[in-house]
Amino acid sequence: MEFVKQYTVNPAHIDVQGIMDGLYYPFYMETCRHDFIREVLGFDLEEQAHKGVFMVLSQYTIKYLRSLKKDDAFTVNCVLYADKAGAPRLHFKQDIIMNGKIMTSATFTGTCVPATGGRPYLPEAIKSLLVDAPVLEV
């Protein structure tokens, strides 16, 4: 299932070259991913944090293909993937797309950990959603 959100480049994110600073691409992806996690997966990050469950990133890779400029309108997508080895990890493939062209592509990997410390795990509600998810092939 692909989740998609629309955005417009914030003028404050433009650098001296007239393009969006590379720091902000992952932030737009994060906003989309957090909405996906809440709206599709039913996992409210703030609510779960108060219950002692932290969803955290363990890594990400990103490819910058084209630059966004001031006032560009673009979409960010998010697709959930299961871990090939069956580890307690979630993988989110995301793209920033403008006019049908991929501007930036990334894969974010995360898991859940107890707020008090301990081993990574996935809550049962999240695990059940991974049953039908495609497996991330590296």
105-115 pLDDT, tens digit per residue, is 999 999 999 99
Q: Where are the beta strands (DSSP E) in 9-89?
A: 53-64, 73-82
Is domain 2-130 given the CATH code 3.30.70.960 in the classification? no
pLDDT in tens, 19-63: 999 999 999 999 999 999 999 999 999 999 999 999 999 999 999
- What pLDDT is stored for residue 84 in this prediction? 96
The answer, yes or no, to whether residue 138 has pLDDT greater than 80, is no
In this prediction the pTM is: 0.94
d(CA 35, CA 78): 10
Give residue limits of the domains in the chain.
2-130
Residue type, 62: I
pLDDT per residue over 54-87, tens digit each?
A: 999 999 999 999 999 999 999 999 999 999 999 9
